[in-house]
């Protein structure tokens, strides 16, 4: 159950980071309103706070989180950007998840 909670927290963290970066992109590249910067800042603050909820060392959390971020970004590509991920996109996500698993499994035995 703890593993599922950690994964869900990583997904929420990734969504907060992506939204926080996507909204300024909409403003700068797509002619969106500058008001998009307010929810973007709030989303990035949420992202930073969510990272603090993990009980292990910050560097390890950031490293493991990176794998989930990549997976969520590929789903974002599909759902929001309406682009179909390639086979190599999915292979890359699988490799990242494998790396994340190694990092998180090792964190149980290391302080």
Q: Report the greatest alpha carbon distance in the chain.
A: 49
Can you give the pLDDT at residue 107? 63
Can you give the pLDDT at residue 86? 97
The CB density around residue 4, as the number of other CB atoms within 10 Å, is: 8
Per-10-residue mean pLDDT of the chain, 111 residues long, equals: 82 95 94 94 95 78 86 96 97 92 72 50
H runs (alpha helix) in the chain: 2-30, 37-51, 58-79, 87-107
Of the candidates 17, 22, 45, 41, the one whose C-alpha atom is nearest the C-alpha of residue 32 is 22
Can you give the pLDDT at residue 110? 52
pTM higher than the cut 0.75: yes
Can you give the pLDDT at residue 62? 81
């Amino acid at each position: 159950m703890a593993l599922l909670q950690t994964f869900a927290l990583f997904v929420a963290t990734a969504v907060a980071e992506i939204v926080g970066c996507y909204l300024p992109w909409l403003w700068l590249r797509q002619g969106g309103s500058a008001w998009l910067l307010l929810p973007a800042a709030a989303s990035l603050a949420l992202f930073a706070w969510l990272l603090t909820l993990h009980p292990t060392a910050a560097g390890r959390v950031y490293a493991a989180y990176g794998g989930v971020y990549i997976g969520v970004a590929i789903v974002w590509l599909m759902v929001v950007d309406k682009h179909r991920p390639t086979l190599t996109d999915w292979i890359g996500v699988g490799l990242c998840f494998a790396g994340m698993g190694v990092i998180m499994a090792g964190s149980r035995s290391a302080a």
